[in-house]
Amino acid sequence: MKMVKNLKDKIEARSARVGVVGLGYVGLPFALEAAQAGFEVLGIERNPARVAKINNGENYVDDIREKDLAREVKAGRLRAQVSFDGVEELDVVVIAVPTPLDKNLVPDLQYVRHVTEELSKHLRPGQLVSLESTTYPGTTEEVMQPILETSGLKADQDFFLAHSPERVDPGNKRWQTRNTAKVVGGVGPNSLEAALAFYGSVLESVVPISSAKAAEMVKVFENTFRAVNIALVNELALLCDRMGLNVWEVLDAAFTKPFGIMPFYPGPGVGGHCIPLDPHYLEWKAREYNFRTRFIALAGEVNRAMPEFVRTKAWRILNEQGLAPSRSRILVLGMAYKKDISDWRESPAIEVIKLLQADGAAVSYHDPHIPVFKHEGLDLESVPLTEAALREADLVIITTDHSSVDYACVVANARRVLDTKNATKGVPDPEGKVTLL
C-alpha cells in the first residue's frame, strides 16, 4: 500500500514527525528514546509545569538521566506543549496517558477518550496512532477507532491504528524502554506494518502480534501473572504465620530450584498503578463474555488484605511489650510502593499507616525518596532517620526496602522491628528484635 510505504520511507529517513501524548514514567522515556533515534519529537502533556520543565531540559522521571533529556531538548529534537495544535503535522502519535480504575474497580477511560477526540480533529491521511496505555482488550478497536473515524478517515486504509503496550518497570536498571521487547498489534495489516516499522526504528526489538486486541490482552496477562503470583506468596505468608514457619526461608529454598519457578516475595500489600489495578480491566471486560476471572478476583482480595495482616503482627509485637496500640509510637520506614523510587501510588504503606492511626497509635514515617506526604488524607513529613528517632519508637515497621537505608543501624537502635520486606536479611540481630512478616 503506497501510504504505508510513504510512512515507512519517512521513518527510515527519520523525517517522520513523532508526537507523544502523556509525558509520564512511560511517555517521557519513550519520547527521549525516539529523539535519540533521530526523530523530531513533540510531547503533548496536560500538566504545564511538566511542559515547562521539559522545555528547560529538566527531568522529573526517576528512570531518565537529565543530561540526556537536556541534550535532546537543546538539539531541538524534543519539545513539549499543552495543546494539540500542530498535531496534523505529525506522522506518528503515541498515546501514553493514565488508564485508572474508579473506586469500584471500573475502568476509567476518560483520558484515552479525551486524547482520541482531540486527535480526531487533527487526523489526516497517512498518520499512525498507537495506544500504549494498559487497558482491557478491545479498547483500541472498540473505543478509539470509532472516535478517530468520525474524522471521515477509515482505519487501516486512510490512517493506521495500533496498540503497543508499555513495559516499563520503574527503577529497573537492567531493562529499560530501549532494550525491552515491544509487542505491537494493529487494527489491520497496514497498521501493523506501519507500527512495526516505527517501533523497530526506536527500540531494539519488536514482537508482532495478530491484532490490537491481542496486544492489549498480552499486557493485562503480564500484570495478572504478577498479581496472582504475588498473592500466592502473600497467602503462603499468612499460612506460615499460623504454622510458625519462616516464609522467607521457605521461599528462598524453593527458589533454589533451577527450573519451573520464579521468585516472588510477600509484602505489606501491592502498590503501583499497574499490578493492583490492571488485572481488574480484564475482570471487568470478561463479564461481558459471562466469564468470571476467579484468579484475578482472589489475587486482588489476598493482596488487599495484607495491610491488615501487618497491623495484626504489629499489635502482637506491641502486646509482647505490654503496650496498647493507642499508647504506642510507630515509625514506618518507606512510603514508596517499591524500593528506590519516589512513586507512592497505591502504596500499601498508606493503608498500613491509616490502620495504625485508626487504632490510636502515633505514627511517623521516614522515606529518603519522599520528604513530604500530603495525600490520601495523610499530612506527614519524613522524619530524619536518626538513632534517637529509632529509639523513641516503640516499633519500627519496614514497609519499603529502600537500598539507601542503613538497616544495621535500624536494628541496633530500634526497640522492635517488624520487617515486611526482609530488608534486614543478613543484619545481625543478637537481641531478637526483628520480626519478619
Q: Does 170 bind ligand SAJ (CB under 6 A)?
A: yes
Map residue 101 onto helix, strand or coil. Answer: strand
Q: Is 293 an interacting residue with respect to ligand SAJ (CB under 6 A)?
A: no
Q: Report the C-alpha gap between 390 and 256 in whole angstroms.
A: 35
Interacting residue with ligand SAJ among 116, 134, 140, 328 (CB under 6 A): 134
Nearest CA to 136 out of 93, 160, 114, 165 is that of: 165
Among 18, 270, 318, 356, binds ligand SAJ (CB under 6 A): 270
Asked if 71 and 106 touch (Cβ cutoff 8 Å), the reply is no
Residue with cell 499468612: 238
| Shortest Cβ 382–ligand SAJ spacing (Å) | 19
So which residues are the catalytic ones? 274
163 is an interface residue for ligand SAJ by CB under 6 A: no
SS3 of residue 207 by DSSP: strand
DSSP per residue, 167-185: ---TT-SSS-TTTS-EEEE
Shortest CB 338 distance to ligand SAJ, Å: 4
Site string for ligand SAJ, 310-349 (x = CB under 6 A): ---------------------------xx-----------
Query: Should residue 280 be labelled a site residue for ligand SAJ when binding is judged by CB under 6 A?
Result: no
Residue (of 271, 273, 253) closest to 263 by Cα position? 253
Do residues 308 and 236 lie in contact, with contact meaning Cβ atoms separated by under 8 Å? no
Q: Does 30 bind ligand SAJ (CB under 6 A)?
A: no
Return the residue of 43, 186, 272, 334 that touches ligand SAJ, per CB under 6 A. 272
Question: Rounded CA gap, 247 and 267, in Å?
Answer: 11
Helix (H, G, I), strand (E, B) or coil at 55: helix
Amino acid at position 21, single letter: V
- By CB under 6 A, name the one of 159, 265, 315, 365 that touches ligand SAJ: 265
- For ligand SAJ, the closer of residues 80 and 96 by Cβ is 96
Q: Pick between residue 273 and residue 366 the one whose CB is nearest to ligand SAJ.
A: 273
Applying CB under 6 A, among 64, 168, 247, 302 the residue interacting with ligand SAJ is: 168
The answer to whether 245 and 288 are in contact (CB under 8 A) is no
Query: Which residues are at the interface with ligand SAJ (CB under 6 A)?
Result: 134, 166-170, 222-223, 226, 230, 264-265, 267, 270-272, 274-275, 337-338
